[in-house]
């Protein structure tokens, strides 16, 4: 099976009084409207026939947020990037209003996530183990999306304890790091900040001593394996030096 693909950010303004504000690393979401602007786009599996996860913009608890709803569906909201820098931090706020109690990330039939934030790395093919390299080459012929050689996904899971690291049940090109576990108190947001280079090294360091360039960021949820329903929100997602 093709690799599962796996939001938004504002750059900090210049510190000098007359400095020009840096261009945002990710296209910001507008203060009005309900559709994330290009180059944000929804990506799914090759030749996907099942429903797509729904992504809409909303005002939630006084902040502009991305509403992510999965209903027996699959999909990611993806922003392509071309970044030479790898020493970056990813920060965001998120909340889950409806988890997936039947999810089990250790098995294919339970490999669903109520909410995840992912970073794509341009790991060279020669660094990918031989058998997985052939599968990745084949998968890349089946979709117009650029399937990255390595993806780190931060997950809010129903059961696995925070700190759990594991491979995606379908492909080792995607690896999970559980940051939050179980149902939070109603309307409570969790705040995250991750050193993405350190997390790449933790999850993929045996394949590459160097951290590859970042080629995308995504937010996703899927409930296609458990045929469940989930709802979550992500706000204030940004890449920081």
pLDDT of residue 215: 95
Residues 6+ apart with CB under 8 A from 39: 27, 79, 80
Contacts of 30 (CB under 8 A, 6+ apart): 37, 57
Q: How far apart are CA 16 and CA 106, in angstroms?
A: 49
The string of pLDDT tens digits covering residues 68-121 is 999 999 999 999 998 877 778 999 999 999 999 999 999 999 999 999 999 999
**pLDDT score of 139:** 95
- Contact status, residue 161 vs residue 181, Cβ threshold 8 Å: yes
Task: Note the pLDDT tens digit of each residue in 127-137.
Answer: 999 999 999 99
Query: Hey, which residues does 156 pair with through a beta bridge?
Result: 115, 180
As to burial, measured by CB atoms within 10 angstroms (0-12 exposed, 13-18 middle, 19+ buried), residue 195 is: middle
- pLDDT of 1 strictly over 70: no
Sorting pLDDT into bands at 50, 70 and 90, what band is 12? very low
Kindly report the pTM of this predicted structure: 0.90
Which pLDDT score is estimated for 4?
41
Among residues 194, 227, 200, which one has the least CA distance to residue 213?
A: 200
Neighbouring-strand partners of residue 231: 69, 98
Give the pLDDT confidence score for residue 22 in this predicted structure. Answer: 63
Domains and CATH numbers, the chain: 41-240 (2.60.120)
Name the residue with tokens 């360091």: 205
Classify residue 229 by burial, with Cβ atoms within 10 Å: 0-12, 13-18, 19+: middle
At residue 28 the predicted structure's pLDDT band, cuts being 50, 70 and 90, is confident
Summarize pLDDT for 134-159 with one digit per residue, the tens: 999 999 999 999 999 999 999 999 99
pLDDT of the residue at 81: 93
């Amino acid at each position: 099976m093709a690799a599962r693909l796996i939001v938004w950010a504002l750059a900090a303004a210049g510190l000098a009084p007359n400095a020009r504000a840096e261009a945002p690393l990710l296209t910001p979401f507008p203060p009005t409207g309900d559709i994330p602007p290009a180059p944000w786009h929804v990506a799914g599996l090759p030749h996907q026939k099942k429903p797509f996860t729904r992504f809409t913009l909303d005002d939630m608890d006084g902040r502009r947020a991305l509403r992510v709803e999965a209903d027996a569906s699959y999909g990611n909201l993806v922003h392509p990037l071309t970044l030479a820098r790898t020493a970056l931090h990813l920060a965001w706020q998120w909340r889950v209003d409806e988890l997936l109690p039947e999810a089990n990330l250790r098995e294919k039939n339970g490999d669903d996530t109520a909410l995840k934030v992912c970073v794509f790395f341009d790991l060279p093919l020669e660094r990918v183990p031989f058998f997985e390299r052939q599968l990745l080459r084949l998968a890349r012929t089946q979709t117009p999306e650029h399937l990255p050689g390595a993806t780190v996904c931060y997950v809010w899971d129903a059961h696995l304890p925070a700190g759990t690291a594991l491979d995606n049940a379908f492909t080792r090109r995607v690896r999970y790091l559980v940051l939050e576990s179980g149902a939070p108190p109603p309307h409570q947001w969790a705040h995250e900040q991750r050193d993405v280079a350190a997390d790449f090294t933790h999850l993929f360091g045996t394949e590459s001593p160097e951290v590859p360039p970042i080629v995308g960021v995504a937010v996703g949820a899927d409930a296609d394996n458990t045929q469940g329903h989930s709802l979550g929100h992500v706000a204030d997602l940004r890449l920081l030096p």
